[in-house]
Chain A
Amino acid sequence: MMSGTTPVIFTHDLMKSFGRVQALDGLNFNVEAGEIHGFLGPNGAGKSTTIRILLGLLRSDGGTVKVCGQDPWRDAVSLHKRLAYVPGDVELWPNLTGGETIDMMLQLRGQYNQRRRDTLIERFDLDPRKKNRTYSKGNRQKVALVAALASHVDLLLLDEPTAGLDPLMEVVFQEVIREEQREGRSVLLSSHILAQVEALSDQISIIRHGKIVESGTLSDLRHMTRTTVVVETDHPADSLATLPGVHNLRVEVSKTTFDVDGDTVPHLMPKLTSLGVRSLVAHPPTLEQLLMRHYGTATDGITAAGAGTSPSGNAPEQRQDTP
């Protein structure tokens, strides 16, 4: 993936502490031009701190950070003409309408596309005449998204952008982000839900305790993902337990449940077919399961039990398989 061009976002050994809390502890990751980069991490891992340093709102304590080749702290103004930001928890000016807020943000940022603004408002099904104070969280999110997506910018910094959106609107969001990519824009998409990032990202970085613990394409990360499979077969499926990459096999009458490593799925399929599959359900892993498996704990904030409740509308069923 490393090309000769300079990355849109470059960080090296980035440090930031708040009092005694070390929020970022030597963060290293790059976003190449034109890619959608999934920035995954549990709550409190340092995602928002990173994004706010990239915006020049916070000053890093150490390390290097470049956005579009510029220093985000020193060159904030010229840099902000080239990027748009959607915060995770959007607070808007209560006395403005949604439409006024969108226009204000677009005009303050610089160049924007009026037609794109109008179509986006329509596609996100937003009434721009309502006062911000009457909007739900999801509608405030839409205002911030339209204000960001209708700008002529090179880079989009989206901090948990779909947190308040319903599943239908999330589909619209994914379409729009793909259009943005076709226009040549780069996107940094932060989330704590693997499924949301998986659908869009070319590259994924996983942050934990202020450090990147994994980085690569989705297939690079296959070795980390373990799919949960529930299968009903004509013949007993006990023999599957001997296959490499199969874990936690349990048999209940005709129903068999097991986990399989992402990169060994191809070897599994012929064996399954020979057993006579009547039904098959496969659940992708959640970020929390993934972190649990590889690092013992998900994070300081999320317990194994907490990992079971995912706020995503299309999140898969959750299972606990802690040894």
Chain B
Amino acid sequence: MSSTLTTQRTTEHSPAQATLTGTGRLLRTMIRRDRVRTTAWVVGLGLLGFYFAHAIQVIAEDTSELVSLTVMFADPVGRMMVGPGYGMDAPTHERFFAAGYVLFLYLLCALMSIFTVVRHTRADEQAGRSDLVRATVVGRHAPLTAALILTVLANLAVGVLVFGGAVSAGYAFTGSMLVAAGGVATGVFFGGLGAVTAQLASSSRSASGFAGAVLGLAYVVRMAGDMAAPGGSSLSWFSPLAWAQQTAPYVVDRAWPLLPLVGGGVLLAACGFVLSTRRDVGSGILPTRLGRSSAHSFLGTPWGMAYRTLRGGLRGWGIALVLTAAMYGSFTQTMVDAGDDLPAEFSQIFAGQDMIAGYVAYMSLFLAVFVAAAGVNAMGHLRGEELSGRAELGVSTSMGRGMWLVAHLCVIVAGVFSMLVMIGLVMAATAVATMATPVDGLFTDAMVASVHQFPAVLAVLGVVAAFFGWLPRFAMPIGWLLVGCAGALSAFGPLLELPDAVLSLNVFGHLAGFPVEDITGTPVVALTAVGTLGIVLGLAGWRQRDIHNV
């Protein structure tokens, strides 16, 4: 009896095939589920590649302009940010494209791959969807195989679009091929990494976080390696993120650095398959970490509760913005060096004769718009607390609904304020540290310029809070609209010569452009009043309306 059963099985499927049964059908389902998300990633990356390839030709029309811009990528700080800087001694548009911009494409390819693999493996398992799938005629390795195929397909699509973008800009065939292939290979490598971390961690957050941490480490190692010498140093070779740019497109045009990327990706994916057989469905190889069994007494206060609820999001934004501030600050000397040769458009954006003051004013404004975005995002978290029913659970204690909102708003306001302070400090410190000759008052100016943006951020939060109290459905759209207007009008407003009515939609545009202009009291007072009034109104509305959980 048992022997007939065995023969029957082997005639139907060999065991190796059986573990892959259903891969094709799963892949089709995944493509259908991802038809918006992955398409958006692919098209977005393709457009970005197209934009990078063509924008350089607009920014710098001839070689002399190009040479003046190469400082941004050729000196150590520039190499730290964008890559090894091949061919910057004799820059052309295509070399400038490959040296200055493609690293961002590669970073995004890596992220897309990690997210795609984890979303279709660990996230499905965590949500229990994979139990449903595995209960049907589907082999053990089918979901991971399908997820990896989808990831490779998405990366190939990005590669085709990027190649098309580069060739359409008139760049050399081989180099453009290498730029595109570098993205695909990087995507394959980090997709393989995602396949491993999805087996290790038991939550999709940890799986993505773990792979993201490796990506971050690779970026930092590459920073140090590429900074050390033009063309990168031996340290660069320890970072998979650096390998793709070592093909030196349009300069040396060598393909072999892509081999370790693809080989590494295949090896990692193989590890993922092996690890997946060593664990149960739904569990991870690494044990889940246990936390505290009882709470710190601070958590049992409205402030503690609000702090723990909002901490994660605010901290994430804060870290990203402080790192950006460090980057911008360390570029100050480079900007001064390039200042005299920069095209007119640049000096117009930086709004001043004094290059440093203009640069500091613009960067504080730009970062403060992102701080406002962090604040609006936190307000969205509040709305999420309401819709999920957690606000209801909190309000059912004796803290009261007014206290609930006051505590959460205080945490958000304190959060954005400390972000502005931290950004100011870090931007000031890095600017002062990298200046060749000390500049009087630079530290204080940079510090004050950042904190001076607080009334505008508060005003945005106030408007969102007012809507949260009275028309909660509109709170988030209005908030993002304000941030979007502020971002777009701050960046392009001065260039477009728009009417004042349109420009006044930019909350941040009302403040003086310190340190280019002197701080004026009226907008500071007015914006603070708008913010405070909005919060008071929002509280009044929240006190009188139903708390929804749908």
Contacts and interface: CB of A to CB of B under 8 A. Distances in A.
Contact of A108 (B296, B302, B309, B390): B302
A133 B126 CA distance: 10
Nearest to A105: B397
B398 A134 contact: no
A130 B292 CA distance: 8
Given A57-B546, A134-B202, A109 B397 contact: yes
A58 interface: yes
Given A91-B389, A109-B397, A133 B203 contact: yes
A202 interface: no
A131 B300 contact: no
Interface in B533-550: 544, 546-547
Nearest to B390: A91
Interface in B292-323: 292-297, 299-302, 304-305, 308-309, 312
B400 A106 contact: no
A100 interface: yes
A99 B300 contact: no
Contact of B394 (A76, A108, A134): A108
A80 B295 contact: no
B132 interface: no
A187 to B, nearest CB: 16
B294 A103 contact: yes
A87 B399 CA distance: 17
Interface in A92-106: 92-93, 95-97, 99-106
A85 interface: yes
A104 B529 CA distance: 34
Interface in B377-426: 388-390, 392-401, 403
A91 B384 CA distance: 11
B294 A128 contact: yes
Interface string A259-291: 000000000000000000000000000000000
Contacts, number: 118
A9 B394 CA distance: 22
Contact of A107 (B203, B295, B393): B295
B393 A87 contact: yes
A258 B436 CA distance: 98
A85 B398 contact: no
B398 A108 contact: yes
Interface residues of A, number: 43
Contacts of B297: 107
Contact of B309 (A58, A77, A93): A93
A130 B202 CA distance: 13
Contacts of B547: 52, 57-58
B295 A100 contact: yes
A64 B384 CA distance: 31
Given A78-B398, A107-B299, A107-B301, A134 B288 contact: yes
A110 interface: yes
Contacts of A90: 389, 393
A115 interface: no
Contacts of A59: 544, 546
A178 interface: no
B393 A85 contact: yes
Contacts of A58: 546-547
Nearest to A144: B393
Interface residues of B, number: 38
B499 interface: no
B398 A109 contact: yes
B148 to A, nearest CB: 26
A97 B292 contact: yes
A77 B400 contact: yes
Contact of B398 (A57, A77, A104): A77
Contact of B396 (A57, A91, A96, A127): A57
Nearest to A78: B398
Nearest to A108: B397
Interface in A123-179: 127-131, 133-134, 144
Nearest to A101: B295
Given A108-B302, A129-B290, A55 B396 contact: yes
Nearest to B404: A108
Contacts of A100: 291-292, 294-296, 299
Contact of A91 (B308, B388, B398): B388
A109 B393 CA distance: 11
A293 interface: no
A104 B299 contact: yes
Nearest to A133: B203
A144 to B, nearest CB: 7
A100 B295 CA distance: 4
Contacts of B308: 93, 95-96
B548 to A, nearest CB: 9
Contacts of A133: 203, 205
Nearest to B546: A58
Contact of B293 (A55, A56, A129): A129
B398 A97 contact: no
A98 B299 CA distance: 13
B287 to A, nearest CB: 12
Interface string B213-225: 0000000000000
A81 interface: yes
B304 A104 contact: yes
A220 interface: no
A130 B295 contact: no
B66 to A, nearest CB: 49
Contact of A105 (B203, B302, B393, B544): B393
Given A58-B547, A80-B396, A108 B300 contact: yes
Contacts of B290: 97, 127, 129-130
A286 to B, nearest CB: 27
A91 B395 CA distance: 14
Contacts of A103: 294-295, 299-300
Given A57-B395, A108-B394, 12 more contacts: A57-B396, A59-B544, A78-B398, A80-B396, A80-B399, A91-B393, A93-B309, A103-B295, A103-B300, A106-B300, A129-B293, A133-B205
Interface of A: 52, 55-59, 76-78, 80-81, 83-85, 87, 89-93, 95-97, 99-110, 127-131, 133-134, 144
The 4 closest A-B pairs by CB, nearest first: A107-B300, A103-B295, A129-B290, A97-B291
25 contacts: A55-B396, A57-B392, A57-B546, A57-B547, A76-B395, A80-B396, A80-B398, A80-B400, A85-B393, A90-B393, A91-B388, A91-B390, A91-B393, A96-B291, A97-B293, A100-B291, A100-B294, A100-B295, A104-B295, A105-B397, A106-B300, A107-B297, A108-B300, A108-B302, A110-B398
